[in-house]
Chains A and B, each alone.
Chain A
Amino acid sequence: MVRRPSPRAYVAQWVFLAGLVAVSGLLIMNLGANLARRNMQFGFGFLAEKAGFDIPFKLIDWTLFDIYAKALLVSLLNTLLVSAMSIATATLLGLLVGIMRLSINWLVRNLALGFVEFVRNTPQLVQIIFWYLAVLQTLPPPRQSLVLPGGFLLNIRGLYVPNLVIAAGDSALPWIAGLLVVATPFAWRLKIGERRLGAFALALPVIALLLSNLAIEQVQVPALKGFNIAGGVQVPPELVALWAGLSIYATAFIAEIVRSSIEAVPKGQREAALSLGLRPVRVLFLVVLPQALRIMVPQMTSQYLNLIKSSTLGAAIAYPEIFQIFAGTVMNHTGKEVEIIIVVMAVFLVINLLFSAFMNWYNRHVALVER
């Protein structure tokens, strides 16, 4: 095919490498000298030291006596939490807006277009700060909470969600229910003898629903008590704002992916389905979307990765995710700038690698087989 590079080029690349090594060496020597001047040493030993600060929002237990390594875990879970919430929301909304973009209804189509254009052309950070400072921080105090449908309360302290209290003896049931839901798509493809289980797999989520109903002892609805809200789970305003900012921004991008993927499904598929007498809605859900969903997997992967990386913007509104805790609090406490940046970057590289590996595997399984 293309000619082999000349011998001179082969030599040149080694010269390039030597230069690279020399520059890196020089920089590292500088680092050593600078750290020595500050009486500090390079190393990750600080991760085993006691942290001694509080983390305002956490999914697992955290005390002042825990070590920095555990702070890494706590903040990583916060990052993953907001990313997972936003990915789920953005995917659903993106699907909706993407379909709206192709509606035959002029108003619906252009409403979606306007939304996509406005959101895509304003910085994500501005949106997140807007949600936090201009919306959530201007909400009324608990006494005048906004009452949302489904028993949700919204006020300046955040969003209050009804809490499901699990009976003491039945703590395993919700897990089993969760597993059943996860297993459903696999059961769908399961073959027993010659036949696939198919729609029978839908029995699983139904069983899961029954099981979780059994396990729930009572539903605690948040309500005003004195000056504060009692009952329910409090979602802090930082999390709500970051969630809104990340999901709405990603929705606009995902909508465009959905639109282009639907348009990429060969026209003949839709025409054939319509000519069989299927109604347009069924054509969409049974013929076009299943193919479009496969086409969009690689693009969605990069959107999801962008979203996970953007969750670091939570630092601007003090949501305790990994960047805010490490590049903020921990850096102030320890002064280990270089190590901390390396740790945070490494965490994101690992998330990136694992997530891409998973999505590539998934893509290989679902990709349309080209003839």
Chain B
Amino acid sequence: MSAEAPAEALPGGGLGGLIGGPQGGPARVVDWLRRNLFSSVTNTLLTLLVLLLLYLVVPPFFGWAITNATVSGDTKDACTGDGACWTFIKLRLHTFFWGHYPDDELWRLFTALALLIAFAFPVMRERTRHRGLFVVLLTVFPLLAGVLLVGGIAGLPFVDTNLWGGLMLDIIISFVTVAGALPLGILLALGRRSQLPVIRIFSIGFIELWRGVPLLTVLFMSAVMVPLFLPYGVSIDRLIRAMVAFTLFNAAYMAETVRGGLQGVPVEQEEAAYSVGLKWWQVQVFVTLPQALRIVVPGIVNNIVDLFKDTSLVTIIGLADLLGAVNQSLKDPAWLGLAKEGYVFTAVLFFVCCFSMSSYGRRFERRLNRHRAGGT
């Protein structure tokens, strides 16, 4: 294997180059192939090896997933071919997306989703007017969504969280966790750099404790241990307990990401701010944090992707998120033996969500580097 830097991409590179590119011709294709696939004997062998591997894996997979697959029908008997039985997924789609949320109330779910997109999109876009306004809207969104989804006031019927499930549950847990863990993480990161010994030691202890233990133990703590610490007769919803566990756990990871950003802000910035007479909190809020947070957005996005994937762990404490809903459906005696379909579907759905988030993070990082190279 050769470790040389990737060959310079042609203009229109990647696959575009392979099929000729925007202004390509046969000569360009041959040139591209020679440079990227057949530049030496070893290289040619590697190419052939990979092609063989792809030939062994890709056609059978496509045969299973598409050509020989069944989508029609309402029972398992419809799946007669040797391909995948997507009928099962099709019939359970509503459970996989929103659990047992009542059909009549689904509009509330969609409204919340629409609001989320409407608030989040302007914040994520590169050029936006009134970004601050949308950030504020995004901050109050969990409250709004909570009222909308739980109901029980303003004429909205109450929907028990036991009925929540599917991908919707993963998204809700993630959102609440980010909303809680990010501010807490920022406080902890500041606390870790504080000159006050009690605050510093507490922050270090808090961060290292959660980072040292598996998430599963923290979730179990919320599920079986927390009820014992509450006064007799007081009980907190299982989902809320899990969300608190996620928040505390991820706050520790976010704190470390934010700390990296704080260290990246030149000391002179802080010194200058103090010298014009600002107080500690003014320096942090108006000078240090705005610079630090911008640097750490890609890191935070990584944290969010990680925690979104981790939400699948609530399955183990008995909540029916996407993975849990799939697990339960696979136990249905009428649909046994469809584990491949179920978990391939779960993996692909998670992949679509996570990959779009990490792509955004990477795009932001590139934008950041461009600004840095251009500015200052």
A-side residues, CB < 8 A to B, are 1-6, 9-10, 12-14, 16-17, 20, 27-28, 30-31, 33-35, 37, 96, 99-100, 102-109, 111, 117-118, 120-127, 129-130, 133-134, 137-138, 262, 270, 280-281, 283-284, 288-289, 309-310, 312-313, 315-316, 323, 327, 331, 337-338, 341, 344-345, 348-349, 352-353
Q: How many Å lie between the Cα of A327 and that of B2 in the bound state?
A: 48
Q: How many Å lie between the Cα of A13 and that of B232 in the bound state?
A: 31
For the complex of A and B, list the 9 residue pairs with the smallest distance between their C-beta atoms, beginning with the closest.
Answer: A121-B354, A106-B36, A284-B3, A123-B309, A309-B214, A134-B339, A130-B343, A13-B198, A133-B339
User: A122-B309, A280-B3 given as contacts; is B198 within 8 A of A108 (CB)?
Assistant: no
Q: A35: which B residues are within 8 A, CB to CB?
A: 228
Q: How many Å lie between the Cα of A1 and that of B195 in the bound state?
A: 12
Closest B residue by C-beta to A339: B225
Specify which of B217, B228, B280 is in contact with A312 (CB 8 Å cutoff). Answer: B217
By the criterion CB–CB under 8 Å, are A104 and B347 in contact?
no
Interface status of B310 (Cβ within 8 A of chain A): yes
Stretch at the interface among B4-12, B133-141, B289-297: B4-12
Interface string of B333-358 (1 = CB under 8 A from A): 00001011011101100110011001
By the criterion CB–CB under 8 Å, are B199 and A13 in contact?
yes
**In terms of DSSP, what is the predominant structure of the interface of chain A?**
helix
By the criterion CB–CB under 8 Å, are B46 and A103 in contact?
yes
Stretch at the interface among B95-103, B113-121, B152-160, B312-320: B312-320
User: A130-B343, A315-B216 given as contacts; is B195 within 8 A of A4 (CB)?
Assistant: yes
By the criterion CB–CB under 8 Å, are A126 and B323 in contact?
yes
By the criterion CB–CB under 8 Å, are B280 and A9 in contact?
yes
**Interchain nearest-CB distance for A351 vs B (Å):** 9
Q: B7: which A residues are within 8 A, CB to CB?
A: 104, 106
Closest B residue by C-beta to A110: B14
Closest A residue by C-beta to B357: A121
By the criterion CB–CB under 8 Å, are B270 and A2 in contact?
yes
Interface string of B266-280 (1 = CB under 8 A from A): 010011001000001
Given contacts A122-B351, A125-B313, A310-B214, 11 further A-B contacts (CB under 8 A): A9-B196, A27-B229, A28-B229, A30-B230, A30-B232, A103-B3, A108-B1, A111-B50, A121-B305, A124-B309, A288-B3
User: A13-B196, A104-B36, A341-B225 given as contacts; is B351 within 8 A of A121 (CB)?
Assistant: yes
Closest B residue by C-beta to A342: B225
Interface residues on B, range: 35 or more
Q: A124: which B residues are within 8 A, CB to CB?
A: 309
**Interchain nearest-CB distance for B226 vs A (Å):** 9
Specify which of B202, B213, B216 is in contact with A313 (CB 8 Å cutoff). Answer: B216
Interface status of B93 (Cβ within 8 A of chain A): no
Specify which of B4, B37, B312, B342 is in contact with A106 (CB 8 Å cutoff). Answer: B37
Specify which of B2, B221, B280, B350 is in contact with A103 (CB 8 Å cutoff). Answer: B2
Q: How many Å lie between the Cα of A65 and that of B43 in the bound state?
A: 61
Specify which of A14, A102, A111 is in contact with B5 (CB 8 Å cutoff). Answer: A102
Interface status of B91 (Cβ within 8 A of chain A): no
Closest A residue by C-beta to B352: A121
User: A30-B230, A122-B309 given as contacts; is B1 within 8 A of A323 (CB)?
Assistant: no
**Interchain nearest-CB distance for B83 vs A (Å):** 15
Q: How many Å lie between the Cα of A10 and that of B351 in the bound state?
A: 48
Q: How many Å lie between the Cα of A5 and that of B284 in the bound state?
A: 13
Q: Show 26 residue pairs from A and B whose CB-CB distance is below 8 angstroms, ordered by the A residue.
A: A2-B274, A4-B195, A6-B280, A13-B196, A34-B230, A37-B232, A100-B1, A102-B4, A102-B5, A103-B2, A104-B4, A104-B5, A105-B37, A106-B7, A107-B37, A107-B46, A117-B355, A122-B309, A122-B351, A130-B344, A288-B3, A310-B214, A313-B216, A315-B316, A323-B214, A349-B213
